[in-house]
Amino acid sequence: MAEIERESMEYDVVIVGAGPAGLSAAIRLKQLDPDLGVVVLEKGSEVGAHILSGAVLDPCGLNALIPDWKEKGAPLNTPVTEDNFYLLGEGGHMRIPNWPMPPLMNNHGNYIVSMGNVCRWMAEQAEGLGVEIFPGMACSELVYGENGEVKGVVAGEFGKNPDGTPGPAYEPGMELHGKYVLLGEGVRGSLSKEVMAKYELSRGHCPQKFGLGMKEIWEIDPEKHREGTVTHTMGWPLGSNAGGGSFIYHLENNQVYVGFVVHLNYENPYLFPYMEFQRFKHHPMVAELLKGGKRVAYGARAISEGGWQSIPKVTFPGGALLGCSAGLVNVPRIKGNHNAMLSGKAAAEAAHAAIQAGRSGDELTTYEDDLRSGPVAKDLKRVRNVKPLWSKLGMAASLALGGFDMWVANLTGWNPLGTLRHGKSDAAATGEASKFQPIDYPKPDGKLSFDRLTNVSFSMTNHEESQPCHLQLRDPSIPVKVNLPKYAEPAQRYCPAGVYEVVEEEGKEPRFVINFQNCVHCKTCDIKDPSQNINWVTPQGGDGPNYPNM
């Protein structure tokens, strides 16, 4: 294809992603200097369309960014009033009392929110300060300057044919240049992955670890609804097959967020995370809550779980990684939104100071220092051994030992277990199919549990079909030649949206089919494919899920 000519626009700071991290950076920049040119680019059709969290929000990030958020009408309407933790067996449950939990696990003072709505409100605040926000604009490429620094992004390329050539309505998009480019793409960002590889940002750090989070919104019987109640469970149905657990949050309007996280370092390639979630809802305790209600939305997203040890170097020439692009989730708390906001604020302060000093295109080292010694570090360091303990010793030992380590760290700021390291990547953890038995999952009943494709229709996902497949195979032969015989091609099961199929017809070679139209942008395939053969890139802007109030 001939060199594409694009118009360019100049800004002081270009921000990729209108999640809590990117929007916090934008707001802070304009608070510091209303004259700065700040643009936020978002691939969702509107701000919030691709946002998926639990979510229980620790307001510390918002307090630091917009202390008068209450007066400004932030949609934090449901304070947590009750915090429950259960261990599940197949037919029963056991409540773990709150008193042995380290204080950092306490949810009082937090809010059950729709992060999609919080992001929509943050976008209004940002626009009120003069930030330009362009939804429906996927940033598909980075633009590099003469010295190898990141100097911008390409956004808004539309209308390619399936083979990548320009179609009849082709729009080349624009280059947006900035003195600094901040990447707030969330977990496993496609541009973030590129800068991590190019500048070797992960060198000397543990590999990032991930979970797959799936979530439904239910409207339940008002008699059973207990606004403000937060429930977490561990145990059944995962047992020793994988780590993970559930969350059930009662928000407003008789709605409940029901979610399930499966750690992606599981070995058994027959494990089917989506079906584990569906099975979970048949546990008597959960079924009793949901019976008579209806599921009104579904979505899925990977969650970073590596924590402190896995945070890469967060700056590179010309920019920085924010929020979950840097992996700032506190795993035992299942919370990352507060750190996403704090990191956005810190990066903005570093970029503002640099621009004031006449700099551009270099490294924002004060941001790195802030992240590694400020409030984000304090939050993540205390809990840093929980995930490696779980991976190595399983749930029970990690609850006991991890709890002890967190308690001491909470009281003294010192972790008696030091810093345990993570082992291999989640992709490399996948075992060979010959060592495992297939798992027989019950068929969804259509009342409490649903098949994948029906549920995907509740994510309002849409992709223009006549565009290149955004799930690129580095080697198209690997799914059938390697992954199928060796791992029973786990893509058929780990994808929570039914994107991948192996079609086997008599007398024909098996075929690997990618239904990219179903993709909910969770990025699990990019993470878990054992051959690391799937590269998730952005489809054209505006495509993907259209979450209502996830």
Ligand X SMILES: Cc1cc2nc3c(=O)[nH]c(=O)nc-3n(C[C@H](O)[C@H](O)[C@H](O)COP(=O)(O)OP(=O)(O)OC[C@H]3O[C@@H](n4cnc5c(N)ncnc54)[C@H](O)[C@@H]3O)c2cc1C
Q: Is 41 in the site for ligand X (CB under 6 A)?
A: yes
Stretch that binds ligand X, among 101-109, 173-181, 334-342, 359-367 (CB under 6 A): 334-342
Residue 359: CB minimum distance to ligand X, A: 25
Identity of the residue, 22 or 490, whose beta carbon is nearer to ligand X in the bound complex: 22
Q: Is 273 in the site for ligand X (CB under 6 A)?
A: no
Residue 179: both structure tokens together: 């003195």
> For ligand X, which residue of 28, 30, 43, 528 counts as binding (CB under 6 A)?
43
According to CB under 6 A, which residues from 529 to 548 bind ligand X?
538
Identity of the residue, 18 or 471, whose beta carbon is nearer to ligand X in the bound complex: 18
| Residue 521 one-letter amino acid | H
> For ligand X, which residue of 295, 301, 381, 523 counts as binding (CB under 6 A)?
301
How does DSSP assign 302-349, residue by residue?
A: EEE--GGGG----EETTEEE-GGGS---BTTTTB-HHHHHHHHHHHHH
User: What are the backbone dihedrals phi and psi of residue 232, each rounded to the nearest 5 degrees, phi first?
Assistant: -120, 145
> For ligand X, which residue of 29, 39, 303, 314 counts as binding (CB under 6 A)?
303
What is the C-alpha to C-alpha distance for residues 386 and 400, in angstroms, rounded to an integer? 10
Identity of the residue, 36 or 341, whose beta carbon is nearer to ligand X in the bound complex: 341
Place of tokens 């223009």: 464
Identity of the residue, 214 or 488, whose beta carbon is nearer to ligand X in the bound complex: 214
Identity of the residue, 215 or 486, whose beta carbon is nearer to ligand X in the bound complex: 215
Stretch that binds ligand X, among 31-39, 85-93, 330-338, 384-392 (CB under 6 A): 330-338
| Angle at the Cα of 205 from the Cα atoms of 349 and 306, rounded to 5 degrees | 80
What is the C-alpha to C-alpha distance for residues 229 and 321, in angstroms, rounded to an integer? 34
Identity of the residue, 110 or 449, whose beta carbon is nearer to ligand X in the bound complex: 110
Identity of the residue, 52 or 380, whose beta carbon is nearer to ligand X in the bound complex: 52
Q: Is 54 in the site for ligand X (CB under 6 A)?
A: yes
| Residue 429 one-letter amino acid | A
Q: Are 39 and 134 in contact (CB under 8 A)?
A: yes
> For ligand X, which residue of 11, 44, 120, 319 counts as binding (CB under 6 A)?
44
Residue 113: both structure tokens together: 């929110």
Q: How many CB atoms lie within 10 A of CB 163?
A: 7
The sign of the torsion formed by the CA atoms of 540, 545, 549, 550 equals negative
Find the helix packing angle between 395-412 and 386-393, rounded to 10°: 160
According to CB under 6 A, which residues from 1 to 30 bind ligand X?
16-22
Give me the torsion for CA of 247, 457, 453, 519, rounded to 10°: -80
Identity of the residue, 54 or 307, whose beta carbon is nearer to ligand X in the bound complex: 54
Q: Is 371 in the site for ligand X (CB under 6 A)?
A: no
Residues in CB range of 192: below 8 A, 6 or more apart: 183, 185, 321, 325
Residue 75: CB minimum distance to ligand X, A: 15
Three-state secondary structure call for residue 95: strand
Is residue 287 classed exposed, middle or buried when 0-12, 13-18 and 19+ CB atoms within 10 A define those classes?
Answer: middle
Interface mask (CB under 6 A) for ligand X, residues 159-198, using x and -? -------------------------xxx--xxx-------
Stretch that binds ligand X, among 46-54, 309-317, 356-364, 451-459 (CB under 6 A): 46-54
Q: Is 323 in the site for ligand X (CB under 6 A)?
A: yes
Greatest Cα pair distance, the chain, in angstroms, is 69
Q: Is 497 in the site for ligand X (CB under 6 A)?
A: no
Q: Is 496 in the site for ligand X (CB under 6 A)?
A: no
Q: How many residues bind ligand X (CB under 6 A)?
A: 44
Q: Are 389 and 397 in contact (CB under 8 A)?
A: yes
Question: In the complex, which residues of this chain contact ligand X (CB under 6 A)?
Answer: 16-22, 41-44, 50-57, 138-139, 184-186, 189-191, 213, 215, 259, 261, 301, 303, 323-325, 329, 334-338, 340, 538
